Structure 1
């Protein structure tokens, strides 16, 4: 595992237990600046629970979480966000009665630093960050619409835009293309690439393997709360344990063809 000082995010033997259930079981990882770490695995593998622990929603039973070298294991979610680590959720979280722009402005304001209520005013910094996020995610056409009226893709993009508006160092994306059609998935692929070009470090969970493997610089596969594979994307369909516990023969063949096609096109 990399030293904490060289990494933006470090988990040291992190566990999360619910009674006798070990949802996350002694897992360690480190994420360096500029990486896209993709996390896959079957349902119930502990992927989202790991995100919950990292972001302070579900405090770790054992182990430590460090963000930019600072121990945040017992920190509250808002403080972790303000330190530069943000996340999205599988379910589309937003204030449905507020406009897209209002949602993103709230994130830009409260996600950057500790703020007081009532009587807050959006300063120029929050307004600048929110407008930049709207442009980056391509939400200009729906910026004035209530969030509750948006279709699934735009709601997912709204969550990502709200995260980006906090000017984070690390973004955790939990199943960003779940429920989307191939054309919509391609749009999110483009978004993630733009985020990386902006210098963001990304950790993403996804079951759509084409999405996960083509974007990730490194992949971790989880099973029963532990990592059973960590390495390059092209190694995933070649790992016997991953094939047996997660991919199966048909998916493995498709992934091998995918990498062969990628290699043929340079």
Structure 2
């Protein structure tokens, strides 16, 4: 790790099988504090399944996962969140009939500490964390809106707010700009940059290469459950295996323009 610092996340030879199918096949990943690591790859590459395994949504078949000095292999999603890993999902995961504030209250209350017997009141700390998260993502003025009424961008922001309300050390973002337009993508880029500036470590999955490469200090490309590339963002389009299996020649050219001219869409 840089400057000899201890890794925040260490995944060693992680495997997830569904019957005879290895959706994740020997994935290893080390993430240092303060990094933004981007993961790309075609649909079905195993990216989200890898997230699911690391965050405890589904158990690993094999391999080990360490986080901040804890062995979290096989630990449940609730406890992993309480230890300091939060995440968002591809699909909009929220309680549709509750308000924006109520959704974040739930995350702030249950995502930070074990609650064997939930209390009757949220407590001042929960309310403060909810307020901070809503203000950070720009949803404070919509706190009483029912989630079912929110547009796509606000739903994305709601998931991020719920995640950061748990006060994580590591944030997993699964396709945070899927379905958004260029202006909305730029808004999320700015948000992630602010999270990093605040000291948060981020691992993200995204198909929008402009977003992935603009934010990531290191990029991993997966295919058939395996890592086929790991390196600097500007090296992705130069790797012949990545171009052949994922990017294609057209995207490769656009990415070269992105790095040489600094403004192309990819």
Q: 1: CA distance between counterparts of 2:136 and 2:116?
A: 28
Cα-to-partner distance string for 1:68-100 (whole Å, 9 max, x where unaligned): 121111111000000000110001011111111
Aligned residues: CA RMSD: 1.5
User: Given the two structures, how large is their TM-score scaled by the length of structure 1?
Assistant: 0.95
Q: 1: CA distance between counterparts of 2:222 and 2:129?
A: 35
Partner of 1:204: 204
Superposition map of 1:22-37 within 5 A: 22-37=22-37
Cα-to-partner distance string for 1:178-232 (whole Å, 9 max, x where unaligned): 0111111111111111111111000000000000000001000000101111011
Partner of 1:189: 189
Partner of 1:95: 95
Note if 1:83 corresponds to 2:83: yes
Residue 19 of structure 1, CA deviation: 1.1
- Counting matched residue pairs gives 262
State the SS of the aligned residue for 1:6: coil
User: Given the two structures, how large is their TM-score scaled by the length of structure 2?
Assistant: 0.95
- Unpaired runs of 5+ residues, structure 2, are none
State the SS of the aligned residue for 2:28: strand
Q: 2: CA distance between counterparts of 1:118 and 1:257?
A: 54
The answer to whether the Cα contact below 8 Å between 1:5 and 1:69 also exists between their aligned partners in 2 is no
Q: 2: CA distance between counterparts of 1:103 and 1:153?
A: 16
State the SS of the aligned residue for 1:10: strand
The answer to whether the Cα contact below 8 Å between 2:37 and 2:220 also exists between their aligned partners in 1 is yes
- Unpaired runs of 5+ residues, structure 1, are none
